[in-house]
Structure 1
Amino acid sequence: MSSEVRKEVILERLGRDQRVSVLELSAEFKVSGETIRRDLKDLEAEGTVRRVHGGAIPAGRTADTPITERIQFNALEKDEVAGMARGLISDDCVIFLDTGTTTLALARRLVGFKKLKLYTNSLRIAQAACEHFGVRVQMTPGSLRPIEQDLVGYETISYIQQFHFDMVFMGAAAINADYGFMDFEEDEARIRQVLLKQTAHSVVIADHSKFGKVGNVITAPFGGVNTLVTDRRPPENIFGAVRAEELEIIHA
């Protein structure tokens, strides 16, 4: 396939998905990542795309879809996942919820507790959780990301490393049979990697739309997480990879 044809396909993908990944494109076209990066560099020079870490987005678009928009995607499925995840939490324990729309759905379901302590780096999760009388909320420090409405950076990671959590609940941008749990942004991935070291039980909560996607950062292999909660059984290739690593799967 010529460079010009690849570029046409890349632009078609961008029009459909609003983001492309170097890893995904190199696998699809059976060329090196460097070849894809040259294609993206050419398209950026033409003013049609903007390169970001690990891929590209349409020119003029920010790297992240605002959380205010993502909340609307698969809202019922996220609430279903949140309901199943809520059943894993017992009172009088310490949990961490990282930023994300499914973890936000879980925060909204934390009713009925009397002595639950919740740590988070998400402004929206803190606001939702503090509405429940029996939940004590503690926020991390850090640098504010307006699009995600969360706190990230060195101060956030340093703060998290001071604690041990009974359970950690985190999202994922992609769940891939070959790479495991992935993210688009390094800030999110690094915080999640630290959280995995600071807990007795790690839980990824994600709806089925994350299956088969490819992110830019490999956050954790399947064997690095204890439980996956999702709204439907994963596709066979992911299901097999997950079970091979003895990762518990809870699904509707």
Structure 2
Amino acid sequence: MLREERLKLILDFVNANGYCSNEDISKALGIPFTTLRRDLTDLNTEQKLKRVHGGAKSIKERSILEETLDQKLTSHIEEKKIIAQKALVCIKKGETVFLDAGSSTYFLAQLITPELNVRVYTNSIINAQVLANNGVSEIHILPGKLKLSTNAICGVETIVSMSKFHFDVSFLGVNAVDNDFNFYTTDEDEALVKVKAIENSQFAFALVDNSKMKSKAFIKFSDKSQIALISEEV
């Protein structure tokens, strides 16, 4: 058996069971103890599972820390472009759209054109500039405090302003999604903006590339009962 095949078998077995002893893995997969110990060490080093005394346990959820917008805009670009194309289909002509700050919404902003005849509200100066460059005529930048690391406008002024509006559809940036499809972000003020957008929208979508799946961040702001997931696969 090739090493890559063996590692995949081990990882799948541990993930399916949550925790497995070395003996369980060895018997189930027919892998000698010496080889198994080496494989578990490699998988632990690669952070694909956690090696513990006498066995291994699954790492089903990771903790996500906030990156700057510049970092986000240069990672998983092709996946985010696919997600943006899928999100664009959810916009109908003449609708009022809320476009959250974030890298996935940035790629969606690039696709919104005057032909859609939409009214866009956003808490992102960068997304507003992209829309303006596209020739979109009705762009509203929400007031509030600018968070420099993510270029998101948030705070009390933002929430008060959003409370006056009803959006046909909103598209939200997300930092993490856990196994139960709870949605997370890393900042309390940004979380409140997302919650208000969901409350004041007929439909709300989370734009999530696969690197954010099976993970958690600081603050849960929604779950699958309130918001639909758009990823490169879904």
Taking structure 2 as the reference length, what is the TM-score of the superposition? 0.70
Residue identity opposite 1:132 in structure 2: N
Q: Note the aligned Cα RMSD (angstroms).
A: 2.4
Flag the structure with larger Rg: 2
Structure 1 residue 133, shift from structure 2 partner: 2.1
Partner of 1:211: 213
Give the SS at the match of 1:193: helix
Write out per-residue CA displacement over residues 82-140 of structure 1, whole angstroms, 9 at most, x where no aligned residue: 01110111111100011110001000111252521100001111111111224421000
Query: What per-residue deviation string (whole Å, max 9, x for no partner) do you get for residues 149-183 of structure 1?
Result: 12110000000000000100101111112461111
| Paired position in structure 2 for 1:161 | 163
Instruction: Please list every run of 5 or more consecutive structure 1 residues that lacks an aligned counterpart in the other structure.
Output: 1-15, 18-26, 30-54, 58-62, 233-250
Given candidates 109, 127, 135, the residue that maps to 2:111 is 109
Partner residue, 2:225: 223
The runs of 5 or more residues in structure 2 that have no matched partner are 1-45, 48-56
The residue that corresponds to 1:190 in the other structure is 192
Amino acid at match of 1:180: N
Deviation at 1:221, TM superposition (A): 1.5
Instruction: Give yes or no for contact 2:152–2:190 (8 Å, CA) kept in 1.
Output: no
Note the 1:128-167 alignment, pairs <5 A: 128-167=130-169
Asked if 1 retains the 8 angstrom alpha-carbon contact of 2:179 and 2:215, the reply is no
Q: Is the 8 A contact 1:126 1:137 kept in 2?
A: yes
CA distance in 1: counterparts of 2:201 and 2:175, whole angstroms: 21
Q: Structure 1: how far apart are the matches of 2:137 and 2:190?
A: 24
- Summarize the alignment of residues 1-252 of structure 1 with structure 2, pairs less than 5 Å apart: 64-111=66-113, 113-178=115-180, 180-225=182-227, 227-232=228-233, 251=234
Count matched residues: 178
Q: Which moved more, 1:102-111 or 1:176-185?
A: 176-185
CA deviation after TM superposition for structure 1 residue 185, in Å: 1.1
- Identify which of structures 1 and 2 has the higher relative contact order when contacts are C-alpha pairs closer than 8 Å and 6+ apart: 2
The answer as to whether partners of 2:114 and 2:137 remain within 8 angstroms in 1 is no
Partner of 1:147: helix, strand, or coil? coil
C-alpha change, 1:184 and 1:129, in structure 2 (3 Å) is: same
Q: Structure 1 vs Structure 2: percent identity of aligned residues?
A: 24
Q: TM-score, normalised by structure 1?
A: 0.65
